[in-house]
Structure 1
Amino acid sequence: MTLSRHLPGSGSVGAVSSRRTERLLNLVICLAASRRWLTKEHIRAAVPQYADCDTPEAFDRMFERDKEDLRDLGIPVVTGTDERWFDDEPGYRIDRDDYALPPIELDAQELAVVGLASRVWQQASLAGPAARALTKLTSLGVDTDQDMDGLEPRIRTAEPAFGPLYAATRDRQVVTFTYRKPNGDAAAREVEPWSVASRNGRWYLIGKDRGRGAARVFRLSRIESDVKRRGRAGIYEIPEDLDAQQMIGKHVPSTDERIATVLLRTGRGAGVRRQAVATIASAEKPGWDELQIRIGDAGMLAQALAGLGPDAVAVTPADLRAEVIRLLKGALGAQAAQIQSENPKMRVG
């Protein structure tokens, strides 16, 4: 059973408030894990985000909104009573029979696609506030379903900036980092993070650039320094009408139609070869092939070529070649640092 299949935030962190998404997920866990009806008091005690409500009235308003949001998402929050535990006070839970996915039959191609998609996700047991929600329910004497372990999926991303930016977006806390523009220039940025979203295999930060006083889109792979937080959490608001994908579309070209010239060692780089519009044996380098490739996403092509190491050479355009060289130097530096940390007495360089 997949309880988070309808929750907002898929592919975008912050476009719909990440705090709201986390609260709704915790509410789903709370209502689905219980084997009996839960009163409002149980729910308020179990879901950490409801502690922010100053009064019972404020909690009632937030809870009613959350119930409607879940129902709009197709999650059946039902009401009932159990006189053994309380006198006709309404209780709530999620009807898991109605919510669970029906049996699915997949053909070979569909299974292959699911297998590829599964590589994106890393199953983890319930963590943080979600785990505390179940712990609180147990402490209140509510039986919970142990099959809920492993509910929370986590996305694996290559960019080290993802984790800190996700956390800063959730906490609404200003961040600083060094950002490299497409022309290679690097500069310090101070940003109010609004959203972290993916598009075409790339991750982007959408937020207000304080230095420029306007909304900007930053590609995470171009963040060259550690992401550092500044100031207190919760000091700015995320625009309610923010559309992360629309922002990315405005600032990021959809495809690069230029043709790149690439040299590949014969028999190497099968994945890159599939992208070629023309391939000939290299007249200047025996044992190598010359490929013409429509770039599409320059960053992804550069990573693919860099990943082939000595078996690939980016010839043109110059910016693609420079990016491949930058990636190779970065990998070499990281490897040297790792060797140095494992063997402090060894000189690397």
Structure 2
Amino acid sequence: MSPASASADKTERLLNLILALKSARRPVSKQKIRESLPAYAQASSDEAFDRMFERDKDELREMGIPISTTVLDVLFDDEVGYRIDASETTLPAISFEPDEVAALALAARAWSTASISGAASAGLRKLRLSGVEIDESVAAGAEPRIRTKEPAFEAVHAAVSALQPITFGYRKNDGELTTRHVQPWALKNWHGRWYLTGFDVDRADERAFRLSRFEGAVRRKGRAGSYAVPTDHVPEVALEAQLPEPEGTAVVRVRHGRGHTLRRHAVRTIEVDERWAEIEVPYRRGTTERDIVALGTHAVAVSPPELVDGVRAALLAVAEAHQAHEGHEAGSGSTVQGSTRSGAPA
């Protein structure tokens, strides 16, 4: 097992233990904890489980998470139960600045459809079946969610987590449909799109694939855990390597506090006034236009002329699409109020 995989397993085990002990309305015996949580159930012996459980308890206490110990039966004081009191781990009221609220809102939009892990769900279910009362409100508050519009996302995410090879149909830039056999390494949201990075078996090389270009079902092709992700793999590096070579330099004007994706690649920045900055970035046809258009009225293309023309054409296409949609709604008898507006600083 790789260090990264071992660390991920430990983190999941600790989170599942916290969830189980915090959700239980009454103390849970060590035996029920072992039977209910898969990571403990898989321990090779009682001694191995005891060592693992004691280490995990110590680590949680070092993190400031209090685990209370209670005698379960006054007649048998050697049988104890464990529980985390939710009231002792509740954070005080927190206030946020406007920019922090905006960041939290973006995070909330990104995480919205996947429930707690299968291991955690199975653990809570087993505890409930064994007679332990579970506080559903605590479990519900620990459900990270992700939403994407890519049909392949769930299958690819599962394959990345399981280290399981997959095969899928993939539409190349030129429109050709190919069949790819890949060892999935990582999923990355990059420039507003989801990408898979991994090892392309047929090409014997590292590749990146945009999920919106997957076609048909994603099929598993091999055993789970049959390969390891290189410890030096960085998805951003793989994605950057597949960008087309720059066609010179682009000059873009962006509002302060906006355009972080563009600013990250800036080779020069000039402060124009209290609202605007002018940056120079490598110009990659198509990619640079898309990044500018995504910022709406918070960015303006300055040069070269083909960049300006490309941004203008894209914005006009968006405006026409909105107008066509509004016309359709009005023609169908709906009442629509709204307008399409574009603007730019002088």
Alignment TM class, shorter chain as reference? 0.5 to 0.7
Q: Whose RCO is larger (CA < 8 A, sep 6+)?
A: 1
| Deviation at residue 157 of structure 1 after TM alignment | 1.2
- Contact 1:78 1:93 (8 Å CA) reproduced: yes
Query: What is the alpha-carbon distance in structure 1 between the residues aligned to residue 7 and residue 317 of structure 2?
Result: 36
- Say whether residues 1:258 and 2:283 are aligned partners: yes
Deviations 1:11-56 (A, max 9, x none): xxx8777655544432221121123433331211121343333433
Q: Structure 1 residues 178, 71: CA separation in 2 closer, same or farther (over 3 Å shift)?
A: farther
CA RMSD of aligned residues (A): 4.3
- Say whether residues 1:210 and 2:201 are aligned partners: yes
- Say whether residues 1:35 and 2:25 are aligned partners: yes
Q: Which residues in structure 2 correspond to 1:209-288 (within 5 Å)?
A: 209-239=200-230, 241=231, 243-245=233-235, 247-248=237-238, 251=241, 257-258=282-283, 272-278=296-302
In the superposition, the TM-score normalised over structure 1's length comes to 0.61
Query: What is the alpha-carbon distance in structure 2 between the residues aligned to residue 190 and residue 230 of structure 1?
Result: 8
Query: What is the alpha-carbon distance in structure 1 between the residues aligned to residue 309 and residue 7 of structure 2?
Result: 40
SS in 1 for 2:183: strand
Query: What is the alpha-carbon distance in structure 2 between the residues aligned to residue 244 and residue 203 of structure 1?
Result: 15
| Deviation at residue 89 of structure 1 after TM alignment | 4.4
Q: Which residues in structure 2 correspond to 1:302-313 (within 5 Å)?
A: 308=318, 310-311=320-321
- Contact 1:77 1:92 (8 Å CA) reproduced: no
Query: What is the alpha-carbon distance in structure 2 between the residues aligned to residue 30 and residue 311 of structure 1?
Result: 50
Q: Which residues in structure 2 correspond to 1:1-349 (within 5 Å)?
A: 21-64=11-54, 66-67=56-57, 74=63, 76=65, 78=67, 80-84=69-73, 87-89=77-79, 91-122=81-112, 128-150=118-140, 151-181=142-172, 186-239=177-230, 241=231, 243-245=233-235, 247-248=237-238, 251=241, 257-258=282-283, 272-278=296-302, 292=308, 308=318, 310-311=320-321
1:323 corresponds to: none
Give the total of aligned pairs.
277
Query: What is the alpha-carbon distance in structure 1 between the residues aligned to residue 132 and residue 154 of structure 2?
Result: 34
Query: What is the alpha-carbon distance in structure 1 between the residues aligned to residue 299 and residue 80 of structure 2?
Result: 60
Query: What is the alpha-carbon distance in structure 2 between the residues aligned to residue 33 and residue 66 of structure 1?
Result: 18
SS in 2 for 1:158: coil
Query: What is the alpha-carbon distance in structure 2 between the residues aligned to residue 147 and residue 108 of structure 1?
Result: 29
Q: What is the identity, as a one-letter code, of the residue corresponding to 1:308? A: V
- Contact 1:33 1:145 (8 Å CA) reproduced: yes
- Contact 1:207 1:217 (8 Å CA) reproduced: yes
- Contact 2:160 2:187 (8 Å CA) reproduced: yes
- Contact 2:114 2:146 (8 Å CA) reproduced: no
| Deviation at residue 155 of structure 1 after TM alignment | 0.4
Q: What is the identity, as a one-letter code, of the residue corresponding to 1:106? A: F
Q: Structure 1 residues 180, 24: CA separation in 2 closer, same or farther (over 3 Å shift)?
A: farther
Q: Unpaired runs of 5+ in structure 1?
A: 1-13, 262-268, 280-289, 296-300, 313-349
Q: What is the identity, as a one-letter code, of the residue corresponding to 2:298? A: R
| Deviation at residue 152 of structure 1 after TM alignment | 1.0
| Deviation at residue 192 of structure 1 after TM alignment | 1.9
Q: Unpaired runs of 5+ in structure 2?
A: 244-263, 266-280, 287-292, 323-346
